[in-house]
Structure 1
């Protein structure tokens, strides 16, 4: 504080140099007489010399660092210089004051009063320096007036003393204001420094959070990939087993094993849906379609789940036609209904649609546990679940609502909710109405319970995968379908095999050893054969970057775990030139799972 006061005081010194030169020279010219000319010249030289030295010394000091300890030494030094300057000005009362001339007396008193008043603005940051200047200057004037032994002049002397105390009081107020301003500046500097520290901490915390999120994504992608490999192979082995002779007890056990495998696959597909939204590889195909077939399909598939919990599932028939992506809209509503069934223990589920202006509002009502106001935004975060601290897998992964919101944003549809704890919830999705009624309903989906009749499959199939269990399961499954299947664990073995045995189809895992990809393997095999051999990519990756890379390859893509039905249909389509699942902007709910 003292150092800043001294810096402020020294910075003010230069502003008084020119006024001092002008006033001193003018007084010398005005007050000089033959009798007092030598004394006035000496006085003028002393005043100007004192001011010049003071300004030079102030600039010299300001060029250096004024630390706390130096500030106290500088204060003592300034007391000396200011006392000399004040005494030099006060000497005007002894050298230029003429009691016989009223004009002379008024001029000298006015100048000295003005000088000390002006000094308050320059010197008051350090009150003691201002006080010593006043004492030396006004003291000389008061002594001169008192020494004249005349009542008016002695009254002037007393008035000068009163003026001194008045100036001192004002100087104290000015010094306080200066200290307050300096303190405020220190506080601001401290706040800025604290803000910088907090900003750095926030930046570091944000960076750490981003790194943690990336690490989480990498971990989930790696874990998902590693889990998909054995589950994919398990599904294929179970299909091979189902085609072998089994007794009733064995078929019951097989059905349970298939159910467990499908449950695992559903969870992994949910993670895949979330990853595909993050990767931005879903391109909506907007069309006009009737809503009622979609509602009927969802009721036929999801009502049994509600009935199993003793819930009433109702759907209000609708004759509206919507303009959206049929498959993505189905996935949104499916997630909303599944979530309602999962968190409702009594009562029922209602799926309805009503017209509101140019939009239809799809509503999913439930009489479930409800959601507290502070949780109503949180439930849309990924992996966030209510009432599932034990992470019961039967309650899902906490991605359904996150996927629903992501797809709604992708389609430009507004998804909102209202809920009361203990009373239930309603989710509303606003979808544009179609300009014209849809002419056809959604195409019927093929049954997944059984494969279609065999035929039209390639005879020779080359499978490339670095996982031995996957190679074995694929070889057994394809052999059961009547294919001559050969396997390779990398690109070079596949190229060597294809030189003597030209495949009719290539099925390759996307991520191979040594940072190589299935897209690279297919391109090299096609170049070697000189023909565009039908091909499929199968991947267990869910990392957004990997999904974008695979999509850019232009080869139809399946995701592990792939069901035998999906594999069979993809092979048929690839052979007939219709297998463009990956690059044809597929957006249906099934396509999200199959690639």
Structure 2
């Protein structure tokens, strides 16, 4: 019972801290109590200077009014002591804030502050006891006004730190009350009763005021804790981001090296296999065809893995150009018509006459991957590649098939890397990467892709592109493409390639198509002189990276065009990221004020990413020559 009353009493005059999970998780109860008390003392020190200055002003006013009644050497000494104590209080506050780590010397500052507060209260209480003159109304009124004003005016300051309030108020009020009770001969029990009531009222309101201050301190602690957590989380996020960027840069460098090292031998293998196919007899043809399929499978896998790595690391650069959608569809029709015919499928291509602006190679890869999947997973029926202009003035491209279809469950995972649905396992082809590449490229080019499918009926992949260029309803139809390799009789081609195997294989391949081939390992002045004085060339086929000591293929093409004074159709093949070619092209052409002839000379060559199949090389050469 007794302990319960004591706890209630302490709760009124010394409230418990508010429940705050953030603060209690960060500090123990004892640590939290010490931090709160130190913060209270710091706030009190911060406000001490202004309060003691006002107190000294009131003391001076009292001395000036009452000097003729109670003046003398005692008041002089008291006035001097009050002034010295005021200065000492201000100096103590300055010393506290000049301390490097005052929290470590908290006990010293706590005791020193209590001593100064007690002395300050006793100096006011001494005045109330010693200078109180009986039957002098003026002195009594002014002195009571001083004591009461100083006491109640100091409550907001000392309520911040409860020990200061408990020490100061009795020291100021009790001596004055004792003197009044003596003068007016008040019974002791009445004096004790009213003194206790007044002190309890003051302490109660001081405790309530302290509760408000303490709540503010806890809120400040919470803000500091949350700020520390915010800074910590931000630093952690920066660290994770920097680590991720380092990992991405490391992976990008690795894949850049792997990109070149893997594509180069695959390029040579593909060309040599193509030459073998043209020379194979009935006995060796099945072996060569099997080797060709295996090489194509490895090339496809490497190409898709490298493409996904570049898309994931966001290092791929968009190269938007204006091109004919009809021509693109015609090339795709020429590429996939033989595959469809071999599987007994019919391929129908319907293209709206339009010139569009986007990255042609990336869009071509998207459509090619969709057509490849359609051919792979369709055993009978037809495949339709179609384009149209929507009412919203957007271009709609659809790839439809009559294949096995995709279930709703599979559609949710369709664009995940390495995912192959039931149809994929039945077809026993592919690696589950094609649609992942499609999705990432569509996000990069801001293309909306949707899938409509019904199991057993077929699928429709729908692409919606924003139109950035006006369509041309009267544009001429695309030139028909032959389904097989087209001859290039008499075409004079310059091949610049630093890899001997690829250089020789390209020469053999092109000569097999009837080309007149001239080869060079790199560009130099000697090559330029030969080109000027000997027979002209119709096309340049150059590798991009021709070694660290030589010009790149792009620079070589520009120098050859400049030396011959005319635009020569050119192809740049590269095993490095095509962004490197585009970046160098932008550097070469930046800030130039082109004339009409300069525009022709600095025209961007056709860019082909290794490994390049013979069909792609043949189609690219015809595409450039047909534009002449």
Identify which of 278, 288, 296 aligns with 1:243: 278
1:233-261 per-position Cα deviation (integer Å, ceiling 9, x unaligned): 223223322333x4323223333333333
Matches within 5 A, 1:338-357: 338=372, 357=391
Q: Secondary structure at the match of 1:395?
A: coil
Matches within 5 A, 1:90-239: 90-102=125-137, 104-148=139-183, 150-151=185-186, 155=190, 158-239=193-274
Using the TM superposition, name which of 428-437 and 209-218 deviates more: 428-437
What TM-score, normalized by structure 1, do the two folds share? Answer: 0.76
Count how many residue pairs are aligned between Structure 1 and Structure 2.
563
Q: Secondary structure at the match of 1:4?
A: helix
Identify which of 581, 603, 608 aligns with 1:558: 608
Task: Tell me what 1:368 maps to.
Answer: 406
Task: Tell me what 1:589 maps to.
Answer: none
Task: Tell me what 2:122 maps to.
Answer: 87
Q: Given the superposition, is the C-alpha separation of residues 302 and 195 from structure 1 closer, same or farther in structure 2, using an over 3 Å criterion?
A: farther
Task: Tell me what 2:542 maps to.
Answer: 508
Identify which of 260, 264, 268 aligns with 2:294: 260
Q: Given the superposition, is the C-alpha separation of residues 65 and 158 from structure 1 closer, same or farther in structure 2, using an over 3 Å criterion?
A: farther
Is 1:471 the counterpart of 2:503? The answer is yes
1:58-80 per-position Cα deviation (integer Å, ceiling 9, x unaligned): 22332222433311111111121
Task: Give the CA deviation at 1:448.
Answer: 4.4
* Mapped contact 1:448–1:565 kept (Cα < 8 A): no
Task: Give the CA deviation at 1:10.
Answer: 1.2
What TM-score, normalized by structure 2, do the two folds share? Answer: 0.72
Task: Give the CA deviation at 1:500.
Answer: 12
Task: Give the CA deviation at 1:87.
Answer: 0.6
Q: Secondary structure at the match of 2:463?
A: strand
Task: Give the CA deviation at 1:339.
Answer: 5.1
Task: Tell me what 2:43 maps to.
Answer: 8
Q: Given the superposition, is the C-alpha separation of residues 68 and 352 from structure 1 closer, same or farther in structure 2, using an over 3 Å criterion?
A: same
Query: What are structure 1's unaligned runs of at least 5 residues?
Result: 580-595
Task: Give the CA deviation at 1:133.
Answer: 1.2
Using the TM superposition, name which of 101-110 and 26-35 deviates more: 101-110
* Mapped contact 1:510–1:550 kept (Cα < 8 A): no
Q: CA RMSD in A?
A: 4.9
* Mapped contact 1:237–1:473 kept (Cα < 8 A): yes
Q: Given the superposition, is the C-alpha separation of residues 50 and 259 from structure 1 closer, same or farther in structure 2, using an over 3 Å criterion?
A: same
Query: What are structure 2's unaligned runs of at least 5 residues?
Result: 1-34, 589-601
Q: Secondary structure at the match of 1:243?
A: helix
Q: Given the superposition, is the C-alpha separation of residues 27 and 170 from structure 1 closer, same or farther in structure 2, using an over 3 Å criterion?
A: same
Q: Given the superposition, is the C-alpha separation of residues 518 and 290 from structure 1 closer, same or farther in structure 2, using an over 3 Å criterion?
A: closer
Is 1:400 the counterpart of 2:435? The answer is yes
Q: Given the superposition, is the C-alpha separation of residues 33 and 417 from structure 1 closer, same or farther in structure 2, using an over 3 Å criterion?
A: farther
1:454-505 per-position Cα deviation (integer Å, ceiling 9, x unaligned): 42311xx554323232123123234434556554444569749959995744
Q: Given the superposition, is the C-alpha separation of residues 259 and 518 from structure 1 closer, same or farther in structure 2, using an over 3 Å criterion?
A: same
Task: Tell me what 1:542 maps to.
Answer: 577
Task: Tell me what 1:70 maps to.
Answer: 105
C-alpha distance in structure 1 between counterparts of 2:507 and 2:529, whole Å: 15
Matches within 5 A, 1:403-482: 403=438, 406-407=441-442, 410=445, 413-416=447-450, 428-430=462-464, 438-439=473-474, 442-452=477-487, 454-458=488-492, 462-481=494-513
Q: Secondary structure at the match of 2:408?
A: coil
1:248-297 per-position Cα deviation (integer Å, ceiling 9, x unaligned): 23223333333333444445565787769964453242778799999999
C-alpha distance in structure 2 between counterparts of 1:139 and 1:348, whole Å: 107
Q: Given the superposition, is the C-alpha separation of residues 441 and 221 from structure 1 closer, same or farther in structure 2, using an over 3 Å criterion?
A: farther
Task: Give the CA deviation at 1:21.
Answer: 3.0
C-alpha distance in structure 2 between counterparts of 1:166 and 1:84, whole Å: 23
Q: Secondary structure at the match of 2:429?
A: helix
* Mapped contact 1:302–1:338 kept (Cα < 8 A): no
Identify which of 50, 58, 67 aligns with 1:23: 58
C-alpha distance in structure 1 between counterparts of 2:535 and 2:265, whole Å: 26
* Mapped contact 1:143–1:157 kept (Cα < 8 A): no
C-alpha distance in structure 2 between counterparts of 1:46 and 1:88, whole Å: 8
Task: Give the CA deviation at 1:203.
Answer: 1.2
Q: Given the superposition, is the C-alpha separation of residues 189 and 421 from structure 1 closer, same or farther in structure 2, using an over 3 Å criterion?
A: farther
Task: Give the CA deviation at 1:232.
Answer: 1.8
C-alpha distance in structure 1 between counterparts of 2:581 and 2:470, whole Å: 39
* Mapped contact 1:362–1:428 kept (Cα < 8 A): yes
Task: Give the CA deviation at 1:85.
Answer: 0.7
Which fold has the larger relative contact order, with Cα–Cα distance below 8 Å and residues 6 or more apart in sequence? Answer: 1
* Mapped contact 2:59–2:146 kept (Cα < 8 A): no
Matches within 5 A, 1:28-67: 28-35=63-70, 37-67=72-102
